[in-house]
Amino acid sequence: MDIFAYRIMPVIQIEDAADAQPLGEALMAGGLPVAEVTFRTDAAAESIAIMNDIEGFTVGAGTVITPSQVELAIEAGAKFLVSPGLRTDVVREAQLAGRPIIPGAVTPGEIMSAQALGIDTVKFFPAKVFGGPAAISTLAAAFTTMKFIPTGGIDGSTMPDYLKLSCVPAVAGSWVALPHLIAAKDFAAVTAACREALSQVAALA
């Protein structure tokens, strides 16, 4: 599937792998059958493996910062990889394995380095800190073929400003599956948040 088809990429941090199955099902029920599971916890690899077994769900790995994490993520079943920054060895490891990778790039130099590696879509992180929609729009004027996935400081109130940019196929963020909702096992609230976010996307069409 096109991982950006829904224009929202849920970024989720799972502390307990037992939450992976109900969380994946909650995202699907809310209309978002895709997620980036961050490698910020010890439960990440197991959670990815569990979500990979959910029929119709596409799971990727986020916060991938070393080649060994690329290997671990792929072994767990990650269909795509996301990194907060740009490391050549990490990108190459993913490419050799045939997995799409979205590295982070926020400066002209980083974007040019990404292009040299054959990358056409980068993560713009942290988006709010590095200038938000105005910064992306300015960079896109120089790098007309690059796509940007803004992440960091984005929620329902700021999402439309990013999605109005033609160079932004999707935004990524945790507001549709907030850590405290996952910890409380309030998966119904996650489903509701997904539906609300998708209704905002539809209103932009």
Residue among 36, 79, 93, 147 flagged as catalytic: 36
Q: What is the DSSP string of the chain?
A: --TTTTSEEEEE--S-GGGHHHHHHHHHHTT--EEEEETTSTTHHHHHHHHHTSTT-EEEEES--SHHHHHHHHHHT-SSEE-SS--HHHHHHHHHTT--EE-B--SHHHHHHHHHTT--EEEETTTTTTTHHHHHHHHHHH-TT-EEEEBSS--TTTHHHHHTSTT-S-EEESTTS-HHHHHTT-HHHHHHHHHHHHHHHHHH-
Which residue out of 15, 71, 110, 123 is catalytically annotated?
Answer: 123
Any catalytic annotation for residue 123? yes
Q: Does residue 55 have an active-site annotation?
A: no
Query: Which residues are catalytic, by number?
Result: 36, 123
